[in-house]
Each structure stands twice: as structure tokens, then as C-alpha cells.
Amino acid sequence: MEDNSDNDSDIEYDAYSSDENDAIDGYRQITKLWTRVQNADEHEYPHEVREFVEDMGPIDPPDANSDPIEYFNMFAVPETGSSLTEILVQETNRYARQYFEKEGYASTPCSRSNEWKDTNLDEMSAFIGLYLAMGIVKKPSIESYWNTSDKTYLYNTHGFSSVMTRNRFQLIMKFLHCNNNNTHIPRGQEGHDPCHKFRPVLDLFNQTFKMRYNAARDLTIDESMVGFKGRHDIVQYLPAKKAHRWGAKFFVLAESDTGYAISLKLYSGRQGNEDRSTNGLGYDVCMALIQPFLGKNHHLIVDNYYTSPTLCDALFDRGTYMTGTVRVYRRGMPSSFKGIRLKKGEMEIRQSGSTMALAYGDRKTVTFLSTMASPR
């Protein structure tokens, strides 16, 4: 929508605003009024920024001298339900039975699978420990961790063979599972879950991450790639990601200061006949992840993939502040910001209700939205 005012006017419009009577989450496309702020030093918010008074930090952490397993169990053992080890033991044994009972299975005499016997909690704990150790001690192959040849004496890892044989470790890896394959709903059918293979583990960590830590005021949401090149619907290719270009993409709600991950949401694309989001994927992701923290005066900080006037208004109405860089062509942005060019150090400020829009000249013009931060 074109600006309805002259360039020198202090008031401009754009095609967006909020209306409590609207059927789409309280927001629709009508005229949004932006007022120009002439002096940044004198700018005052039209609302009071409420104080954040929630508790912060770890909840009942182990003593400083505790063994590492105690810290691991903080997140692997929930207050209710199965622990991570219990899930892996149950589903790994279940999958092994399904493997041997499936139609057409024919054992070969030399197959390592013939040596399978059900695993237990102690053995699975040892398996997890060895797997984590492989992330610290880097070697070219799994077999090399059990190499005891005199030629490799200087970098042999005798601890691995003292815990578990190589064949047993690889056999557990072959049958390792997190969920029951028989409950999987095929893609395209109602109720299909792209995360089915690891849904119990994802739900477990989303529960314990919040249960063991009180988040500070400032939160952030961003993407994180889990490297994986296997064949699965969830695999994404993001060439801009240097660490992992192939893998599963997660949206992560984290504490800004520490980077502590509070909640994870897998990006799985649109499923079947699922309708396109009314307010965009970024809006939906933020509202889903921040839901347990609404109404507590948290401050969400995001990049321009998520930021929009729609999200600012929705969060503010739910007792949550927001600051983020924003794309000037987002629906609801001040029309004068589209194509604006500022010299280094110059700024243009607009205010609309609880939301401030700021364009700042640096190496290029950067635009922000905030319901909390000051232009100063």
C-alpha cells in the first residue's frame, strides 16, 4: 500500500494492523499508522517496560564435585516417564525381535546378527558412554577404537575394549532404535509424524531442558543443523551452513547470554494437504516455541527471518517483548523504509503503538523492530 502522506509528513500508513475481533489470531490487513520520531534522544515508549522477576539458572543441580554421569542424568532422566536409557533398551530389543521375525528373513551362518542377545540398562549406558567418548577422541573409523596393534601403539585406546567388544558395540548400533516401527504412519496419511523415528527422545529432552533450568529474561530463536546424510524426509541441504550442509534442521529456543537450549522444534516442511501459514513459518515457529514463557515479561531476540510487525504485536499482547532485525518489505512495515538509504550514523525512527521501527545507516542500511529497545 502506498504512503498516503507527503514525504515531509510525520504520519504514514501501511497495510496492516491488529483487531481483537479478527478471526485469524486477532490480526488482519487493515491500515497501520506509523508516526515519525524526530529526536531519538527524546524518544519515550508509550508503554512501561515491565520488570522481569522470574527465578533464573539451574534447578537443583548436582554438587560441583559430582561425577559426569550426574550431570548427564539431569537431562536423560525425567521426573515422570522413561529415561533415555530405558527408551533405547526397550526399542532396541523390540526392533531386534521384529528384525528376526520379519517375513523372508534368512540367517546366514557367519552373520554377526546371530550373536544378538537382548541388551540391558547397564550395557546401554556403557554404549552411550563409548559413543560420547568418540566425539572427544577422533579416529578415522569405528573399528580403529578397538585397534591394539603394535603399529598403532602410540594412539591405541585400550579403554574401549575394556568396556565392550567391538562386535557387540557394532551389533547394538545395528539394532539401535528410539521408537516402535509398527506405529509409524506413512507419509501423506493423516497423523504422519516426520519425527517418529526419534519422537520419544525429542520429547524427553524438550521436557528435561525446561524442567532443569529457569530461563533468564533474554531469549532467542535460531536454526541449528544436525548433520545427517541418510535417506529421510527430514534431510535438508543448506549450502550456507559451514559445519553441516546436509542434515535435519531444528528451530531452537535458547537463552541469549548462555546459549542454553530450552526447546527444539524440527523443520519438516509442509505435510500433505496442510494449509499454508497465514502469518508465515517464522511467526508460527516463534509462537510455538515461546508459548510456555508468555506472560512473564521475557524479551525475545531474533533475526530477520522471524521478525515482523505481526509477531511484535502478538507477543506484546501476550506479555512478551521482542527485538529483531527485519526485512523492509515485511507486511506492515513503514512504507518510507522501502528503498531507504542512509549515511553511516544516520537513523530514521517510526513508532506505531507498542512497536518501534528503526532504520540505521552502517555499511548498509539495517532495519529493526522492537517493543523494548531504545534507539539510543
Structural contact between residues 310 and 332, judged by C-beta atoms closer than 8 angstroms: yes
- Determine the Cα–Cα distance for residues 305 and 47; give it in Å rounded to an integer: 26
What 3-state DSSP class applies to 55?
A: coil
CA nearest neighbour of 262 among 219, 297, 303, 224: 219
C-alpha cell at 289: 516455541
In this structure, how many other beta carbons lie within 10 angstroms of the beta carbon of residue 215?
Answer: 24
CA nearest neighbour of 123 among 176, 44, 56: 176
CB neighbours of 351 closer than 8 A, spacing ≥ 6? 34, 35, 37, 43, 46, 357
Backbone angles phi, psi at 295, to 5 degrees: 80, 10
Q: How far is CA 274 from CA 26, 179, 277, in A?
A: 21, 25, 9
C-alpha cell at 37: 520520531
- Determine the Cα–Cα distance for residues 340 and 293; give it in Å rounded to an integer: 36
Residue 250, pLDDT score: 93
- Determine the Cα–Cα distance for residues 233 and 136; give it in Å rounded to an integer: 30
Residue 138, pLDDT score: 92
User: Helix count (H) and strand count (E) of the chain?
Assistant: 8, 15
- Determine the Cα–Cα distance for residues 354 and 374; give it in Å rounded to an integer: 12
What 3-state DSSP class applies to 224?
A: strand
- In the chain, the DSSP E strands lie at 11-14, 17-18, 27-28, 32-37, 57-58, 213-214, 218-227, 235-237, 246-255, 261-266, 299-302, 321-325, 347-352, 355-361, 365-370
Q: How far is CA 119 from CA 95, 146, 355, 374, in A?
A: 12, 20, 57, 58
Q: What angle do CA 68, 72, 75 make, to 5 degrees?
A: 155
Beta bridge partners of 59: none
CA 328 to chain CA centroid, Å, is 25
Q: pLDDT tens, 195-217?
A: 999 999 999 999 999 999 999 99
CA nearest neighbour of 250 among 260, 237, 263, 259: 263
- Determine the Cα–Cα distance for residues 185 and 181; give it in Å rounded to an integer: 9
Q: pLDDT tens, 5-50?
A: 444 456 665 644 444 433 344 444 445 788 888 877 766 777 788 8
Written as tens digits, the pLDDT of the chain (376 aa) is: 344 444 445 666 564 444 443 334 444 444 578 888 887 776 677 778 889 988 999 999 999 899 999 999 999 999 888 999 999 999 999 999 999 888 667 677 778 888 999 999 999 999 999 999 999 999 999 999 999 887 777 788 889 999 999 999 999 999 999 999 999 988 888 888 889 999 999 999 999 999 999 999 999 999 988 888 888 888 888 787 777 888 889 999 999 999 999 999 998 876 656 677 788 899 999 999 999 999 999 999 999 999 999 999 999 999 999 999 999 989 889 888 888 888 888 888 988 888 999 999 988 999 999 998 766 6
CA nearest neighbour of 180 among 261, 246, 96, 237: 96
Residue 368, pLDDT score: 93
**What radius of gyration do the chain's Cα atoms show?**
26
